[in-house]
Every structure is written in C-alpha cells, then in structure tokens.
Amino acid sequence: MTRSRRFESLEQWLAWLATLHPKQIDMSLGRVLGVLAALGISQPSYRVITVGGTNGKGSCVALLERIYLEAGYKVGAFTSPHLLRFNERIRFGGRDLDDEALIEVFEIMEAARGELTLSYFEASAVAALLHYTRAGADVAVLEVGMGGRLDAVNAVDTDCALIVSIDLDHMEYLGPDRDAIGFEKAGIVRSARPVVVADRDPPAGLLDEIERRRGALSRIGVDFDVVAVPGGLEYRSGNASPRRFPRPAFGSRIQLDNAAAVIRVVDALAGQLPVSAEALAKGLSTARIRGRFDIVKVAGRDWIFDVAHNPAAARLFREALAELAPVPRTTAVFGAMRDKDMKAVLEPFLSLVDVWHVGGVDSDRGASPESIASLLVEIGATRVERHPDIESATKAAQAMAADRVLAFGSFYTVGPAMETLGLY
C-alpha cells in the first residue's frame, strides 16, 4: 500500500482531520464501513467489547481494560473525548499511543480512503481499529461516542455489548425521550451475542430493540446484582455462590453497579477470554480514570474533578460528594457547552458551593461565561465570578481561601483545570 506522508506532526494531522469532512457530527456508517473495507479490517482479528450508554462508559472501559491487562492479554481501549491530548483516545497495552504511532496509522488510512471523507471522530475510531489489528490485539474495548446504532465504533461487530445507562443527552441527535435514546443505544447489540444492561430502570425502547435484535440479555437487578460489603463488593448471579471482590478505587456508589456489569461481561466472554479471579480482583482495585470523581490534593486542599456535563451525571457527582465529610467552604470552577441543560446540572450544587468561578471553554459549542453567570444568579447563587477561560478561573479559585474546590461541567473544563494546576 502506498503511503502519503502528508504531514510531519500529529498536530498538523489533527488540524487537517478536523476539516476533512464538512460536518463535525454526521450520524451514518457508510463512510467508515467503506474505509474499513479498503483497509481490509472490516472483520476484527480480536475480540470486541462495545460500551454504550449515557453515563459511566469511561469508567467501565477503564475497568475492563485493566482487568484484561492483569489477565495477560494485549488490550486496546478507545475512548472519547480527551482531556488534553488526542493520544488519550487510543490506548494499547495500558498506554496512550505516541505521536509516531498515530501518524503511521493516519498515513495508512489516508492512502486507503480514496474519495471517502471521515469526521474527526470517525477518523479516530478507524485509526484505533487499524492500530489494534497491526499490533496484534487480543481484545479491544470500544467506547461509543454518541448513540450507538450509527456511531463509528458500531461499524465492527461486537462480541459483547455493555449498555451502562440511559438518560437525556444529545437529544437533538438521538431523540426526545429515554425510549428513543434507548433504541439508538441498543444499535450496538448483535444477534445471539451477550448484552449487559447496567441501568436499573431501562426504558422500554432499549429492551424492545434488544429483543428485536435477539441479543442475549443480562440485566442488573434481574439476572445479576451487587451489594456493598465491608472492604468491597459482593457479586450475585442466579444460583451461583456470591463472589466477593474489592470495589473500584475511584468514584462513588454507582461504581459498584459498573463493577458488577463489568464482571458480567468478563463472565460472558470467559470461553474466549478466560480471566482468573485474581486478575479480576486486581483489575477492579487498580483501575484508574482521570476526571471521574478524581480527588487530588493541591497546596493542602482537595480539588475534585468530574466531567459531569448532563443532569444525570451531575446528580451522580452530587451524590458522591455527599458521601464525603462536610467542609466549611467550597469553591467551584465551572464551564460547559451551551447545548446542555445547565440549569439541571447546576441546581444540585447551589446549597454546597459558596463561590463560583465560571470560565469560557475552548470549543465552538462552549457557553459564554456571561450566560453561565446570569443563569447561576437567576437560580440563586450568591457569589459568581466570571473569567474569560478555564485557566484564569482555575487560578482565581486557587488563590481564594477554600477547603475544597470542585472543577466540573465538561471535558473542556477538567482538562485545562488540571493542566493549569500542573497535574497533567
């Protein structure tokens, strides 16, 4: 295959990929399928686990990645978006791909695509699938970007689908309610292959589509469950004896449900990818993920980072905070996309946060600091300070007296805040 050394740096490649397709979001699979066929990788040479849902996807990918690494497999993990560097999206062997590896797969992809164009996300997904093939992966854990049925990762068949949760987000693309969104999320299901649902109240649209697609369904609270026990969790399934494991080292109570769903996935694929009890336990206890209830001490105070960007994620973040010991004074750094239900995201925190530092995020879809500040005042916040960007908002929060600082609202908030503090 002839290669085209179009650009020398990863930054140049990414800038070009952002303009390759006329639409940033284009919900269809035809172009991705065409490029995968041209590359000869339509049928993966490795096992595929596809993780969909509204919230909790990244946590489940991190848990599955770590478990299979502990079991000795060559593991790929694809996630999006990234906090700071594109390299975070494509991982192999527990590490982000370096620039040279990414440039190499982009060169091969460019030589193969012909007249087909790909969106930025589609190009990243194809690059991940290509690298995993070339690197001889045993298993790849793929996070759905949006929806499922028409998402780029759904261009390859999954060996097991995990649908973590269904809630209201991206409604302009996925539909007006949980039934419609559930239908789209169920698009990753394949006939007779296992599908694990970790939503305790799944909408009929999800369950009906899984049944229509003839997926082998396992539901939390029905086919398996989890309870907290001293020092960990207890996983229960049917008539089998309960099994005890350590709980994940990050997040709050909801991570128990995520862990149970991940255990169910591992059990479902045990015939193809056997995992010992020791590897499963070690993977659960050692997995890490940045930006999900991520507590870091900076200059003697706790900073808590969370990419909570929709109402459901914000509620979970607030519930997790309630499990911590109260402190006298809490400050928040906040930025968000203007297409989110910001009122529902912010309201749970009004009684907790004493001072708000709002900043503009580096995205065309970003809400202005002025609009966020006006909304906060409207719903009852008493002290709100506006800043042009997240960096200046973070520095202002760092300079104030506070016992705890929350940085949340978007990947575009958490990443720059961590970078400003020298944590990245």
Confidence of residue 340 (pLDDT cuts 50, 70, 90): confident
CATH 3.40.1190.10: does it fit domain 10-286? Answer: yes
Is the CA virtual torsion 137, 42, 90, 306 positive or negative? negative
* pTM score of the predicted model: 0.91
Q: Has residue 33 got a pLDDT over 60?
A: yes
Q: What's residue 295's pLDDT?
A: 92
Mean pLDDT over the full length of the chain: 93
Q: Which two tokens stand for residue 346?
A: 């912010």
Q: Are strands 90-92 and 355-359 parallel, antiparallel or unpaired?
A: unpaired
Please report the DSSP string for 283-296 in residue order: HHHH---TTSSEEE
The average pLDDT across 246-264 equals 91
Q: How far is CA 128 from the centre of its chain?
A: 16
What's the gap between Cα 182 and its chain centre? 17
Cα–Cα distance measured from residue 274 to residue 270, given in angstroms and rounded to the nearest whole number: 4
Greater model confidence, 173 or 111: 111
281 or 299, higher pLDDT: 281
Looking at residue 5, its pLDDT comes to: 58
Contacts of 104 (CB under 8 A, 6+ apart): none
Strands 95-96 and 47-52 come out as unpaired
Give the pLDDT confidence score for residue 1 in this predicted structure: 40
Residue 4 has pLDDT above 60, yes or no: no
Q: Quick one: pLDDT at residue 364?
A: 78
**Residue 169 scores a pLDDT above 90:** no
Give the 3-state secondary structure of residue 197. Answer: strand
Q: What is the pLDDT of residues 50-68, one digit of tens each?
A: 999 988 999 999 999 999 9
Q: Is the pLDDT of residue 204 over 50?
A: yes
Q: Is the backbone of residue 359 left (phi > 0), alpha (psi -120 to 50) or beta? A: beta
- 219-251 pLDDT, tens digit per residue, is 999 999 999 999 899 999 998 999 999 999 887
pLDDT in tens, 391-423: 999 999 999 988 999 999 999 999 999 999 998
**C-alpha span between 96 and 77 (Å, rounded):** 9
In the predicted model, what is the mean pLDDT of residues 102-127?
94
Domain(s) of CATH 3.90.190.20: residues in the chain: 294-420
- Angle at which helix 30-39 crosses helix 99-112, to 10 degrees, equals 100
Q: What pairing do the DSSP bridges indicate for beta strands 384-387 and 355-359?
A: parallel
Bond prior to 81 in cis (omega within 30° of 0) = yes
Residue 281 per-residue DSSP state: H
280 CB neighbour count, 10 Å cutoff: 25
| Residue in 245, 202, 200 with CA at minimum distance from that of residue 225 | 200
What percentage of the chain reaches a pLDDT higher than 70?
99
Where in the chain do CATH 3.40.1190.10 domains reside? Answer: 10-286
Spatial distance between the Cα atoms of 424 and 422, rounded to a whole number of angstroms: 6
The residue written with tokens 């908002």 in the block is 393
Q: pLDDT class for 268, splitting at 50, 70, 90? A: very high
Dihedral angle sign, alpha carbons of residues 297, 302, 303, 308:
positive
- Mean pLDDT value of segment 294-315: 92
Convert the pLDDT of each residue in 129-147 to its tens digit. Answer: 999 999 999 999 999 998 8
Instruction: Give the CA distances from residue 255 to residues 106, 110, 226, 296, in Å, rounded to whole numbers and listed in that order.
Output: 35, 40, 10, 19
What integer pLDDT is reported at residue 161 of this predicted model?
A: 98
For residue 2, pLDDT beyond 70: no
CATH topology of domain 294-420: Protein-Tyrosine Phosphatase; Chain A (3.90.190)
